Structure 1
Amino acid sequence: MPRITDTVTTADGSCPVSLHTPDGDGPWPGVVMYPDAGGARPTFRAMADKLAEYGYAVLVPDVYYRDGDWAPFSMTTVFSDEAERTRLFGMMAKVTPEIMATDAQAFFDYLADRPEVSGSSFGTTGYCMGGRTSLVVAGRLPDRVAAAMSFHGGGLVTDDPSSPHLMADQITAAVYVGAAKNDRSFTVADGEVLDKALTAAGVEHTVVFYDAFHGFAVPDNEPYDEPAARRHWEAMRSFFGAHLG
């Protein structure tokens, strides 16, 4: 699959990105794929290649670019290694909802200017922290997001004013949430709260719990679950096909 390495100019600097497109002639609908807490890495570039095969131009951003040339995390040890866990959480804390929206505006402008990309509204999808980002961006930039997906996303229902469920009435995109079982970061009760908020706001949506643990869709995560991952790919093919054309 064609893959372009580039940078996107944001309000805070230059964000490294990769743009993945199908073989053949475009243009194609654009999708921003937000990585999990481990950040942009080969696993996500391979996942973007796979999504591109479905007929999309897929942008993978380095959401930690403010930390410069940061050392990659090992997803098998990062949460058990105290020093690495502290480094990870410190980087995650810098990616605030305000920064998510500001960066997303730059990502969408970049996609809109690319000859490979069609349209002026886009899809978003994300995993773990990126799943929250996907919905935050849909709420803060409703005119730019036509379809938003979240897989084993955490923090979708919190007491913080920036919680995605509290922005439901600002979302105009269709929403799909594929949650994990026994996930303290997004419980069954949280799913009910989010579902009610989206319903009250008139948002077309699906909130479904997969029979797999947090991290099920990302191959280098220890809880990766192949059947659940296949189901998530089928959901993306169907959902984006319906809402991005």
Structure 2
Amino acid sequence: MPSEIITGYVEIDGLRAYKASPTAAAGDRPATGMLVLPMVTGIGEQVREWADTIARSTGNVAVAWDTWHGRSSDDTGFDELRVLSQQLEDEVAIQEQDRLLRHMREELGLTSIGVVGWCLGGRYALILGGRNPDLVNVIAFHPTVTMGETAEAVDAVAHAGMTEAPVFMAYPGKDSIVPLESFLALQQALQSRHQAPTIIQLYPEAKHGFSDKRRHNEEVNESAYRLSWPQALEFMKATTGHPGPGAE
């Protein structure tokens, strides 16, 4: 049976976030959670659905970063959101994400935390993995990592190679934003690690952002999502140590 969850917007260290959590802990198992890093939509309907699914299906507390501080695809056009994404500063964004992680550890008492992100959030997930050795997993769907990152940008490829946690990455072969050379660089960086496993999934015909239901009018995208998302949820359960609701 699906687990009941509690959802809603919360304020964390001066930041707005979206939180989805199971209604009750499963016995004396360690408290576990996932930091959710949105795509350009911010914490719009799609991202909230993913956070809800994580809480309901895996038993993890899901806390979603509010990328645009109250704005999202629910009330803001995509052209405007793309402009905001171009203005986003890495160090400012990472500082906010670190504040959420600190809250999850210190205030929520979560002892096992991973991170999942899509597109720009997938890139930040890889960066956080390199900066936070205590994360238990890093999951990146079609991360927006290009080889033309500016000198001011944090090097996501280098951070991927420093990540100590198990990594799950899904890449679309027909990505029009992230070139193949970026995927190959990420693949090499991740597979050069000796301390943790790597799962890399390549969907040759899928396109950038294939997880977004707005793109599921194309079967190649819907199919890639249908295959990858359930596996990512199982990866969360396996790496956080939470077997999911209803497990003995």
Q: Bin the TM-score by the shorter chain.
A: 0.7 to 0.9
* Shift in Å, 1:200: 2.4
Instruction: Answer yes or no: is 1:51 the counterpart of 2:54.
Output: yes
1:1-245 aligned at under 5 Å gives the runs 1-9=5-13, 14-25=14-25, 28-53=31-56, 54-65=58-69, 69-70=70-71, 72=73, 78=78, 85=79, 87-115=80-108, 118-119=110-111, 121-140=112-131, 142-155=132-145, 157-160=147-150, 162-202=154-194, 203-210=196-203, 211-221=205-215, 225-245=221-241
Secondary structure of 2:211's partner? coil
Could you tell me which runs of 5 or more consecutive residues in structure 1 were left unpaired when the two chains were aligned.
79-84
Partner of 1:82: none
Answer yes or no: is the 8 Å Cα contact 2:169–2:201 preserved in 1.
yes
* Shift in Å, 1:114: 4.1
For 1:228 and 1:222, locate their aligned partners in 2 and report how far apart those are by CA, in whole Å: 9
* 1:61/1:233 CA distance change after superposition, 3 Å: same
Report the aligned-residue RMSD.
2.5
TM-score (structure 1 length as normaliser)? 0.81
Secondary structure of 1:21's partner? strand
Amino acid at match of 2:133: D
For 1:219 and 1:57, locate their aligned partners in 2 and report how far apart those are by CA, in whole Å: 23
* 1:167/1:160 CA distance change after superposition, 3 Å: farther
For 2:7 and 2:175, locate their aligned partners in 1 and report how far apart those are by CA, in whole Å: 34
Residues 186-212 of structure 1: CA deviation (Å, up to 9, x unaligned)? 233322221112222334212221242
State percent identity of aligned pairs: 19
Residues 35-90 of structure 1: CA deviation (Å, up to 9, x unaligned)? 1111111221111111112211001121112xxx5464679x73xxxxxx2x3233
Aligned length: 227
Of 175-184 and 160-169, the range deviating more from structure 2: 160-169
For 2:106 and 2:126, locate their aligned partners in 1 and report how far apart those are by CA, in whole Å: 23
Of 162-171 and 50-59, the range deviating more from structure 2: 162-171
Amino acid at match of 1:32: L
For 2:88 and 2:134, locate their aligned partners in 1 and report how far apart those are by CA, in whole Å: 20
* Shift in Å, 1:158: 4.3
* 1:39/1:17 CA distance change after superposition, 3 Å: same
Residues 145-173 of structure 1: CA deviation (Å, up to 9, x unaligned)? 22111112111554546221122343112
For 1:183 and 1:190, locate their aligned partners in 2 and report how far apart those are by CA, in whole Å: 11
Answer yes or no: is the 8 Å Cα contact 2:32–2:240 preserved in 1.
yes
Of 160-169 and 51-60, the range deviating more from structure 2: 160-169
For 1:23 and 1:156, locate their aligned partners in 2 and report how far apart those are by CA, in whole Å: 40
Amino acid at match of 1:214: H
Of 219-228 and 14-23, the range deviating more from structure 2: 219-228
* 1:71/1:122 CA distance change after superposition, 3 Å: closer
